[in-house]
Amino acid sequence: MIYARAANGTIGKDGGMPWHLPTDLKRFKRLTTGHVLIMGRKTFESFPDPLPGRRHIVLTRDEDWGADGAEVAHSRAEALQLAGEEPVAIIGGAEVYALFEQEAERIELTQIHAKYEGDTFMDAPGPDWREIARDEYEAEDGRPAFSFVTFLRAER
């Protein structure tokens, strides 16, 4: 799973992110290129175009929905079947993260050290996760400080 989260849990507002962090976008591209992306319809629709170098599996309840560049799935199982054996990145939104969190092995989190208003929220990773890496970035050019944090599933 890969996502950015503000200090108050915000992950989205009005179908997008309420911040712009170019360093985070570059990391997202590096971590997801060559992977199958599983996302919800609203996440897919937040992109101006499908992201190059990645397959897009879109979970939706709408049986009639379709879009260029999207492989449509109507259930978690169907999304995983479409993905096959390829590496998968779960990229949002909150409902999709909740569907896959129990079987996820890794979280790549951008923890933003500022609060933002939003309409989509997630809790911080809980006790099922252990932090294995952290890189800190200072506030700069009107952008907030943030950390890239990698979590692995704790031993069960």
Q: How far is 29 from 47, CA to CA, in rounded Å?
A: 13
Rounded-to-integer distance, Cα 134 and Cα 139, Å? 16
Instruction: Give residue limits of the domains in the chain.
Output: 22-103, 105-155
Can you tell me the distance from the alpha carbon of 131 to that of 104, in angstroms, rounded to the nearest whole number?
14
User: Which pTM does this prediction carry?
Assistant: 0.94
pLDDT string in tens for the chain (156-residue length)? 999 999 999 999 998 899 999 999 999 999 999 999 999 999 999 999 999 999 999 999 999 999 999 999 999 999 999 999 999 999 999 999 999 999 999 999 999 999 999 999 999 999 999 999 999 999 999 999 999 999 999 876
Architecture of domain 22-103: 3-Layer(aba) Sandwich (3.40)
